[in-house]
Structure 1
């Protein structure tokens, strides 16, 4: 029986959610820029107190901008990947656990869910895939 992409994707999503891996879409860099600019402006206008005030205001604005942009990676895998990206992810994962020689879904899914070294291999593969192919920042 060939590997069912959907079931494998769901297993991967459960695994990354169980490990509480989250991702963000480049919001951290934008937030840092906002904090830096407001801190600079506060310092120029009000001196040392302005630095503190600018940092606080910039931090609050950055928080508001980034709210809801940090999402569980499992949610992104289940809801946001295109069919092509799903196929690529499945190929990456099956290639990563190639040493085990999974020939069908019946062997692969229990192996992923119960074998810690295989879980670590899958997690590292998924993180690498998300960073390289999806341009996500991963937060463990």
Structure 2
């Protein structure tokens, strides 16, 4: 019996909740544009000293913009569009492919009881979040 996508998302959410995983999407492109724009305006208005001040202010503003808001990974997983959830399901299935005959309850019990399997799934999840979502992952509070 195949495991439902919602069950997989909840399982991955439980595993990531144990580690208190949080992720934030970085907006580095936007920060670079703001930094350059503020430096440019500073240079136009104040000449070379304005360029220096504009660059410093723009750099601080750009850094603040790119810091991102960290959200719990389980929340991010549940808010993923179906196409992204499907990608994650394929990666999950590749790891647990030898466990085909199990239903959701048996699979959850096996995964939650196996540190090695949890670590594999966590590594897959971190890879997915950083690669596909361009997010930074942190653990703990």
CA separation in 2, counterparts of 1:123 and 1:22? 13
Structure 1: segments with no counterpart, 5+ residues:
none
Structure 2: segments with no counterpart, 5+ residues:
none
- The aligned residue for residue 119 of structure 1 is 118
| C-alpha distance after superposition, 1:5-64 (max 9, x if no partner) | 21220121232243324130x4134324534665687686328xx36x74355323542x
TM-score using structure 2 length: 0.67
- The aligned residue for residue 34 of structure 1 is 34
Structure 1 residues 72 and 27, CA gap change in structure 2 (3 angstroms): farther
Structure 1 residues 139 and 34, CA gap change in structure 2 (3 angstroms): farther
Could you tell me how far 1:109 is from its partner in structure 2? 1.2
CA separation in 2, counterparts of 1:42 and 1:112? 56
Structure 1 residues 18 and 121, CA gap change in structure 2 (3 angstroms): same
- Alignment of 1:13 with 2:13, yes or no, is yes
| C-alpha distance after superposition, 1:93-121 (max 9, x if no partner) | 1211335x252212221233332211121
- Contact residue 22 and residue 70 of structure 2 kept, 8 A: no
How many positions carry a matched residue from both structures? Answer: 133
Q: CA RMSD in A?
A: 3.2
- Alignment of 1:46 with 2:49, yes or no, is yes
